[in-house]
Amino acid sequence: MDLAQLISQTRKQARLTQAELAALAGVGKTVVWDLEHGKQTIRLETLSKVLASLNIDLIVRSPITREDVSL
């Protein structure tokens, strides 16, 4: 499963429309559509808002330090 599918599936399981998720996250409806269709030029701050609204954790892992950082 890729990120676009995860966002779409989680939104649907939460019984939210794209417009409702956008309002909850404080972003435009187009942002949710773009994310669910795999647009690759989304700002990290915007992505974080949508993921937080869906209770999805974004974790960055460094192969050098072997530590995880939650965003």
Return per-residue pLDDT of the chain as tens, 71 residues: 899 999 999 999 999 999 999 999 999 999 999 999 999 999 999 999 999 999 999 988 888 988 888 87
Q: Which residues pair with 61 in a beta bridge?
A: 68
User: Do the beta carbons of residue 31 and residue 18 sit within 8 Å?
Assistant: no
Domain with 11 in it: what CATH number? 1.10.260.40
Question: Which domain does 8 fall in, by range?
Answer: 3-70
Give the CA radius of gyration of the chain.
Answer: 13
For the chain, how many structural domains are there in total? Answer: 1
d(CA 70, CA 36): 22
* Closest CA relative to residue 24, chosen from 9, 14, 35: 14
